[in-house]
Structure 1
Amino acid sequence: MAESKAPDSTRRSEKSRRAIYAAALSLVGENGYAKTTIEGIAARAGVGKQTIYRWWPSKAAVLLEAFLDLGEQAAEAAEAAGGDGAYEIPDTGDLAADLKLVLRATVDELNDPTFEAPTRALAAEGIVDAKIGAEYAEKLLEPQAALYVRRLRAAQETGAVRDDIDPRTAMELLTGPIVHRWLLRTLPLTHAYADSLVDYALNGLAPRPPRH
């Protein structure tokens, strides 16, 4: 008689976790964050709500982990397509071009429904829930900020950026307006807008002396 194998609880847990991630992201996209509930996530994922509460304290915590996993899946897909899986702002020697490239990618992501709904939900929840806000900043925002800081420091080393510039503040000049326009939804978020931010940040607003 063939020996029966015990169920693999690790595999079962991973399958349930993946189903919960997918359910949370899809429900927020379909119904909005306010109408998404733990009960709804559990029903969509085919698990008991106690399973969710055993792993996460709130729907915000579920969504944050699901969103971080979404980013990891995107990185793995990029690696499978020939990338190295570790994203960095390119350093081609042309700072303006490199910054425009990454800001355009940011615009595309914020305009993508897959990312837009959970990003808005987490940004809003992070304002009222200090713990979620801190975790969102630590695990997502700060690593992204570090990419800009490293690229701008490299530009300082080559003389493309002044030595007395604080790279973190410079990063905020580039990314802050994009987030502001995206949150307000009053004007379109476009590649042309991203390009203009880079031009304004690098060239300044003061009049230039006339050329002789």
Structure 2
Amino acid sequence: MPAVNSQPRRARSGNRRDEAARLAVLHAADDLLVEHGFSALTVEAIARRAGVAKQTIYRWWPSKVEILLDTLIEDSEKRLPVPTELPTADSIRTYLRDFAHFLAEDPAGKCLLTLLAEAQHDVATAARFHERYLEPRQIAEREMLTRAAEEGEVSPALGPEATMDALVGPIVYCALTGAAVPEELVDTLVEKLLRPRA
């Protein structure tokens, strides 16, 4: 007589993602990217590290780029949110300092830089990176800057889009070249480009 299983049978979830497995895949991709770089990152290695089947990954994500995008989006929302409260010159300055730290120290910052580099060589990566990450974040950053200007907190030297590009560009350049962001860089950018209210 077969043994009776006292545990209730788990309902099949079909294509719905198991949250623990999903997070394991995202963390594995992040870790492997930092350890071995993008070219050595494979779905097979991610599956091994996450303890899931390769087919599971392909059912949820069509490529390693999409996995990295999910990782970047999720980690950015948690660790580098665009301020939504009434922005001031000081809160924008803090955001830029956090951005510099994110690129230099956070594994998700490495993910952002990797996707930025890959986007220069692959049209599909560039399109997905722009659609899923860059454009939504740029819209939020421009809204932050516009609100600060409307409230008289700052007087941007350029339009919102050009100002944000000029603020984050030098920080990204430092990160891409492996240089530390000088402490005074963010202060200088804020003072010269945002011209905070005295």
Q: Give TM-score scaled by structure 2 length.
A: 0.80
1:126 to 119, 134, 144: 119
Tell me the equivalent position of 2:190: 198
- Is residue 90–residue 98 contact of structure 1 (8 Å, CA) maintained in 2? no
The answer to whether structure 1 residue 145 and structure 2 residue 115 are counterparts is no
The answer to whether structure 1 residue 43 and structure 2 residue 43 are counterparts is no
> Which SS does the other structure have where 1:128 is aligned?
coil
2:66 to 54, 61, 64: 61
Q: State the Cα deviation string for residues 161-195 of structure 1 (Å, max 9, x = none).
A: 26x9421111111111111221122x321432211
Q: State the Cα deviation string for residues 2-22 of structure 1 (Å, max 9, x = none).
A: 875322444873222222111
Aligned AA (1:69)? E
Post-superposition shift, 1:89? 5.4
Tell me the equivalent position of 2:160: 167
Change in Cα spacing, 1:103 to 1:72, as seen in structure 2 (3 Å) is: closer
Aligned AA (2:86)? D
The gaps in structure 1 that reach 5 residues or longer are: 76-85, 204-212
Aligned AA (1:109)? F
Determine the C-alpha separation between the residues in 1 that align with 2:141 and 2:77: 19
Post-superposition shift, 1:146? 2.4
> Which SS does the other structure have where 2:18 is aligned?
helix
- C-alpha RMSD of the superposition: 2.7
Determine the C-alpha separation between the residues in 1 that align with 2:84 and 2:176: 24
Determine the C-alpha separation between the residues in 1 that align with 2:121 and 2:36: 20
Determine the C-alpha separation between the residues in 1 that align with 2:171 and 2:79: 22
- 144-153 or 103-112, which deviates more: 144-153
Change in Cα spacing, 1:9 to 1:29, as seen in structure 2 (3 Å) is: farther
Post-superposition shift, 1:90? 4.9
Determine the C-alpha separation between the residues in 1 that align with 2:75 and 2:143: 24
Determine the C-alpha separation between the residues in 1 that align with 2:123 and 2:11: 37
- Is residue 39–residue 49 contact of structure 1 (8 Å, CA) maintained in 2? yes
Equivalenced residue count is 189
Post-superposition shift, 1:74? 4.1
Determine the C-alpha separation between the residues in 1 that align with 2:58 and 2:65: 12
Determine the C-alpha separation between the residues in 2 that align with 1:89 and 1:13: 31
Q: How does 1:1-212 map to 2 (within 5 A)?
A: 5-10=8-13, 13-74=18-79, 87-88=82-83, 90-91=85-86, 94-95=88-89, 97-159=90-152, 160-161=154-155, 165-185=158-178, 187-202=179-194
- 1-10 or 139-148, which deviates more: 1-10
Post-superposition shift, 1:29? 1.2
Tell me the equivalent position of 1:82: none
> Which SS does the other structure have where 1:57 is aligned?
coil
Change in Cα spacing, 1:59 to 1:148, as seen in structure 2 (3 Å) is: closer
- Is residue 167–residue 189 contact of structure 2 (8 Å, CA) maintained in 1? yes
Identity of aligned pairs, percent?
A: 32
Change in Cα spacing, 1:181 to 1:4, as seen in structure 2 (3 Å) is: closer
- Is residue 110–residue 116 contact of structure 1 (8 Å, CA) maintained in 2? yes
- Is residue 20–residue 41 contact of structure 1 (8 Å, CA) maintained in 2? yes
The gaps in structure 2 that reach 5 residues or longer are: none
Q: Give TM-score scaled by structure 1 length.
A: 0.75
Post-superposition shift, 1:27? 0.7
